[in-house]
Amino acid sequence: MRISDLFRFSTDNLRRRMGRTILTIIGVVVGVCAIVVMVSLGVAVNQATDEMVQNWGDLRTINVSSYGAQPGTPDLDDKMVQNFKQMEHVLAATPMYSADGLSGIVTTGNGNQYANNYPSLIGMNPEAIPVMDYELLAGSYLPETPPAHAADTIEVLAGATAVFEFVDTRKGENHPNRQKYVEFPSYEEAGPNAAPSNLPQYDENNQLLNPDDFFFDILNSTLTYRMNYGTDANGQPQYKDYTLIVTGVVYTHDFSMDMGFVMSVESMKKLEKDYQRLSHTPAENQTGATVIPGSSDGTVQVAGYDTVYVKVDAVENMPEVEKAIMDTGYQISSMSQAREDLQGQVAQSQMMLGGLAAVSLFVAALNIANTMTMAIYERTREIGVMKVLGCRLSNIRTLFLIESGAIGLLGGILGVILSFGISVALNYLPAILAALGITANIDLAALFGLSGMMGISDMKLSVIQPWLVLLALCFATGVGLVSGIAPANRAVRISSLEAIRHE
Amino acid sequence: MAPIIRTESLRKVYHVGEEKVVALSNIDLSIEKGEFCCIIGSSGSGKSTLLNMLAGLEKPTKGLVVIAGKKVSKMDENQLALFRQQNLGFIFQSYNLLPQLTAAENVAMPLMFHGMPRPKRLKKARRELEAMGLENRENHKPTEMSGGQQQRVGIARAFVSKPQVIFADEPTGNLDSHTTLQVLQTMMDRSSKYGITFVMVTHERELAGCGDRIITLQDGAIIENLLLDEETKKANRAELFSGLDPMPGSADQGEE
């Protein structure tokens, strides 16, 4: 038989028992609809988590910690940083070093008018800084080898909001203009984690374009770091001053980094050494691991840097590099790991909901099989006649498979259409409820076992993507075909003698 | 010339519970090409079983059926389907038209199984229906036709592919006597026109008398295999068809 004839014959038969066909199709529609809507909820949550995690920060940075390491793990020192750097897919590795016990303030202006009393200073490898996706707002990154200059001069990068950490010491503690503050655009317009609206802006000649927002231009000012290393015999604090040369202003998207200053690890070590010498603090020559008190899982803290950042070339390679570092024994954390955890959790919930929905599709499959079996019983004689008249067995099987597949496909198409309707309704549900004067907070995240989906207030409840449509149609047709296999085989086995049996 | 249908010591045994029932034993017969052959016998004589085995609808317990040089009794279902498409036609007692198809579509069905394009096979089917005097009934569903008309559609369906052999199991069993004669005449005319071998099972001896050969079965065995001479046939036909108007449209419609 020709394919066109097979299709005509099958659809004729479906039309012949229209009522039953429609009922069976409705079963499929319900099943497909349940699955598509359930999956669309999961897709929506995934999109929201993705958006959220992207706002958290960089997905390609691994945070290696000296805490929580396995016993026997080597020290997290410069040698290890070099090792990380030489791993495949690693673009850069740098300690995030802040010396313990160091205390001091940063000042600038006439008579040190402006002061940051609790400056945050981080030491990094200069060559790693450009790779870390820190946005250079003005000036240049740290020189990789410090230029020759006076001994107590240090190059630093200022964070984008570091300038807001300074107070006007001439104004009293409670004076309203003692400090200028970071401002953020309205949440409704810019969404979560938007950049502050009053970051310093510079032209290509490093001239500050919005000087009114600040007390001073942090890039073109002379800063002093006044290190406090103790008190003299009279109880007066003792200071040592360093000149800070701000080579550039960086926007790191990490608010704690943006408030502070970045210098080279070498500079940080020099500060630390000076401090230890002047304050007569013995240098800790600690090597090897320390068992952390209270750690029940047998992990230790290794010596060396507390934290090392490793930058990876692509998100896809994160798991590989993460595994390599963990195999060395370190505990790590990263945004992409956090994202995977979240996505895993969502996928699990999605599977569960999808599984529940699949039950209804399974019932629909039984329905199809039942309908087809009935059809074959009714048409036993016809099938016999067709066989006697020379219809091939494969054609008979195909006829019935087309019928059951068509039921599946039609159910799939209608189910997808209905799903789009439900999806739209779900997405407008809060608005509809609000219009009706009902305040309801639909917490989809909670349904997926996630709490604190912060900053995703306008997330969609349901997202149907093209792949989901395609998958649903294929799945529905597949279910139809599979349910038709047994009845079709039964049809093939019908004896042609049935046809000529007298009634 | 080799006979078109030949059987060798055909035997069929049915098992009914513990009991063995011998439906046919030692059937040896040959039917020549173009013969109009009638198998008669009382109910339970095994005539339908014989027809079913000749047509390959049932497998013999023992023995051989050869049609047009092919061992039909050795073929599997797929080979049989192909063989039937090309060589065999069937007419049933209860017509067995498909209710969802029109008369023309029913007639065209064997050609559809053969893979002939729809316009071409419907054209052939219409021609065949015209030859049966059913030119106004082409687009009627079976339920909209009388029994005689339905059976003529069934006959058209058997003839449409111009097979070598047509098997008919009590084709007039459900018809009144007048229609029976019309239908019989049509079948005889059409098969002789195209040289088609026709094997018909009936329990009415007077109908069988019009054929070329009468095979009489009793208790599963052939008790008579009679080849009628021309004169007897003529006499029988004249007697049977006396007073019967020629069937409308049975005149040849000029084919091919």
- Arithmetic mean of pLDDT, A438-464: 62
Helix, strand, coil fractions of chain A, as percent rounded to 5: 50, 15, 35
Q: Which residues contact B203 (CB under 8 A, 6 or more apart)?
A: B40, B41, B42, B43, B47, B170
Strand partners, A225: A106, A242
Interior angle at CA A174, CA A168 and CA A177, nearest 5: 45
Confidence of residue A71 (pLDDT cuts 50, 70, 90): confident
For residue A174, give both structure tokens. 């409670």
Interior angle at CA B136, CA B130 and CA B138, nearest 5: 75
The per-residue pLDDT string of chain B (256 residues; one tens digit each, 9 = 90 and over) reads: 689 999 999 999 998 888 998 999 989 999 999 999 999 998 888 898 999 999 988 899 999 999 999 999 899 988 999 999 999 999 998 889 998 899 999 999 999 999 999 999 999 999 999 988 888 889 999 999 999 999 999 999 999 999 999 999 999 888 888 889 988 998 999 999 999 999 999 988 888 888 999 999 999 999 999 999 888 888 888 888 886 765 554 444 444 3
C-alpha closest to that of A129 among A3, A295, A280, A251: A251
Helix (H/G/I), strand (E/B), else coil: A307: strand
pLDDT of amino acid A361: 85
pLDDT of amino acid A29: 94
- Arithmetic mean of pLDDT, A86-114: 89
> What is the nearest CA distance from B237 to chain A, expressed in angstroms?
28
Asked if residue A414 lies in contact with residue A479, where contact means CB atoms within 8 angstroms, the answer is: no
Kindly list the residues from chain B whose CB atom is less than 8 angstroms away from the CB atom of residue A499.
92, 96
Asked if residue A159 lies in contact with residue A246, where contact means CB atoms within 8 angstroms, the answer is: no
Q: Give the DSSP letter of residue A304.
A: B
Q: Is the Cβ pair A1, B115 closer than 8 Å?
A: yes
Asked if residue A18 lies in contact with residue A375, where contact means CB atoms within 8 angstroms, the answer is: no
Domain annotation covers residue B12? no
Q: Is the Cβ pair A390, B52 closer than 8 Å?
A: no
Other CB atoms within a 10 A radius of the CB of residue A19 amount to: 7
Domain annotation covers residue B180? yes
Distance CA A203, CA A316 (A): 36
pLDDT digits (tens, 9 = 90+) for A317-338: 888 999 999 998 898 888 777 7
Helix (H/G/I), strand (E/B), else coil: B19: strand
Distance CA B87, CA A392 (A): 15
Q: Is the Cβ pair A502, B110 closer than 8 Å?
A: no
pLDDT of amino acid A379: 86
Chain B: residue whose CA lies nearest to A499: B96
Which of A13, A390, A497 has the CB atom closest to B81's CB atom? A390
pLDDT of amino acid A289: 63
Q: Give the DSSP letter of residue A412.
A: H
pLDDT digits (tens, 9 = 90+) for A146-182: 777 777 899 999 999 999 999 999 988 888 888 888 8
What is the Cα A180 distance to its own chain's centre? 33
> What is the nearest CA distance from A370 to chain B, expressed in angstroms?
22
Residue A249, pLDDT above cutoff 70: yes
Q: Where are the domains of chain A?
A: 3-56+341-500, 98-286
Chain A: residue whose CA lies nearest to B89: A389
Count of alpha carbons within 13 Å of B157, Cβ hemisphere only?
33
For residue B119, give both structure tokens. 């316009």
Write out the residue range of the structural domain in which residue B226 sits: 32-58+69-241
Distance CA B206, CA A189 (A): 100
DSSP string, A100-120: TT--EEEEESGGG-EEESS--
> What is the nearest CA distance from B136 to chain A, expressed in angstroms?
23
Domain annotation covers residue B248? no
Domain annotation covers residue B136? yes
pLDDT digits (tens, 9 = 90+) for A376-405: 888 888 888 999 999 999 999 999 999 999
> What is the nearest CA distance from A438 to chain B, expressed in angstroms?
55
Asked if residue B197 lies in contact with residue B4, where contact means CB atoms within 8 angstroms, the answer is: yes
Distance CA A234, CA A248 (A): 40
Q: Is the Cβ pair A395, B113 closer than 8 Å?
A: yes
> What is the nearest CA distance from B85 to chain A, expressed in angstroms?
5
Q: Is residue A168 within a helix (H) or strand (E), and if so which, with residue range? A: strand A167-168
pLDDT digits (tens, 9 = 90+) for A189-206: 666 567 888 889 999 888
Q: What does the buried/exposed string (b/e) look like for A148-170 if buried means 16 or more CB atoms within 10 Å of the residue's CB?
A: eeeeeebbbbbbbbbbbbbbbee
Asked if residue A358 lies in contact with residue A478, where contact means CB atoms within 8 angstroms, the answer is: no
Q: Is the Cβ pair A500, B118 closer than 8 Å?
A: no
Q: What is the CATH number of the domain that holds B221?
A: 3.40.50.300
Which of A5, A387, A495 has the CB atom closest to B81's CB atom? A387
Q: What does the buried/exposed string (b/e) look like for A50-87 if buried means 16 or more CB atoms within 10 Å of the residue's CB?
A: ebbbebebbbbbbbbbbbbbbeebbbbbeebbebbbeb
Residue A432, pLDDT above cutoff 90: no
Residue A235, pLDDT above cutoff 90: no
Which of A5, A387, A500 has the CB atom closest to B169's CB atom? A500
For residue B44, give both structure tokens. 């339970």
Q: Give the DSSP letter of residue A183.
A: -
Q: Is the Cβ pair A393, B78 closer than 8 Å?
A: yes
- Alpha-carbon Rg for chain B, nearest whole angstrom, is 18
The torsion defined by the Cα of A195, A197, A200 and A202, in degrees rounded to 10, comes to 90
How many domains are contained in chain B?
1
Q: What does the buried/exposed string (b/e) look like for B176-194 if buried means 16 or more CB atoms within 10 Å of the residue's CB?
A: eeebbbbbbbbbbbbbeee
Sheet containing strand B213-218, edge to edge, reads B88-91, B165-169, B197-202, B36-41, B213-218, B221-227
Asked if residue B180 lies in contact with residue B207, where contact means CB atoms within 8 angstroms, the answer is: yes
C-alpha closest to that of B92 among B183, B27, B8, B162: B183
Strand partners, A179: A167
C-alpha closest to that of A469 among A427, A413, A408: A413
Asked if residue B143 lies in contact with residue B99, where contact means CB atoms within 8 angstroms, the answer is: yes
Other CB atoms within a 10 A radius of the CB of residue B46 amount to: 22
Q: Is the Cβ pair A2, B110 closer than 8 Å?
A: no
User: Which region, left, alpha or beta, applies to residue B249 given φ > 0 means left and ψ of -120 to 50 means alpha?
Assistant: left
Helix (H/G/I), strand (E/B), else coil: A475: helix
Q: What percent of chain A has pLDDT over 70?
A: 89
Q: Chains A and B: how many Cβ contacts under 8 Å?
A: 76
C-alpha closest to that of A390 among B166, B13, B198: B166
Q: Which residues contact B250 (CB under 8 A, 6 or more apart)?
A: B131, B132, B133, B182, B185, B186, B189
Q: Is the Cβ pair B96, A381 closer than 8 Å?
A: yes
Which ipTM score applies to this complex? Answer: 0.90
The 3-class SS string of A61-96 reads EEEEECCCECCCCCCECHHHHHHHHHCCCEEEEEEC
Chain A: residue whose CA lies nearest to B110: A389
Kindly list the residues from chain B whose CB atom is less than 8 angstroms away from the CB atom of residue A393.
77-78, 81
Domain annotation covers residue B4? no
Interior angle at CA A160, CA A159 and CA A162, nearest 5: 60
Confidence of residue A454 (pLDDT cuts 50, 70, 90): very low
